Amino acid sequence: EDRTLGKTTPEPVDETPPELMEMEIFKERKDETLSALEAILEKRSYKASEKVYALGDSGGELFLIRRGLVRILVPAGDNGSEYHLMTCGRGDFFGALSYLDQQERGNEAIAVMDTDVFVLRRDQLEHLIEDHKRLVINLLEAISLILANRLRYAETELAALQS
């Protein structure tokens, strides 16, 4: 349970990075469409404890985790402490809120262990709209649905804390 909640550092696991078609957000997409998407994605790697992005950074990138874990932290009070919001793993995405509203990051993301990600820049997505409208619509719908589920979970946690 502590590992799931991100309270302890998990032991490294030899995991095979998923292909795009294996990620929940891209299931049932045509091979041709996924090939076009993969061609514009950037692959990045982060070492354990390395910052993926910081509070206040530009929100023009969406991160899809291929391998590893990323902890999302938000500031908690004026004393410099942080609140662990969530931990994302293989097949998850993060950074979506700022990606959608193009505002500065309201949290920071730190690799818990060595982590590989796909990065989708906002300007690249806009070019993809030209030839693959359905993919972009489905991607934005999937991001919105997952963000809504995360928000509902957060509301439930807040209600429980207030009780």
- Spatial neighbors of 28 by CB under 8 A, at least 6 apart, are none
Distance from CA of residue 52 to its chain's centroid?
11
81-105 CB burial, b ≥16 within 10 A, e <16: ebeebbbbbbbbbbbbbbbeeeeeb
**DSSP symbol at 163:** -
How many whole angstroms separate alpha carbon 129 and alpha carbon 133? 5
Q: What is the pLDDT along the chain (163 residues), one digit of tens a residue?
A: 354 455 555 555 557 777 788 887 777 777 888 888 888 999 999 999 999 999 999 999 999 999 999 999 998 877 878 888 899 999 999 999 999 999 999 999 999 999 999 999 998 888 888 888 888 888 888 889 888 988 888 888 778 877 7
Query: Inter-axis angle of helices 133-162 and 122-131, to 10 degrees?
Result: 140
Q: What's the predicted TM-score (pTM) here?
A: 0.83
Handedness of CA 112, 141, 124, 107 (dihedral sign): negative
How many whole angstroms separate alpha carbon 8 and alpha carbon 10? 6
| pLDDT for the residue numbered 10 | 53
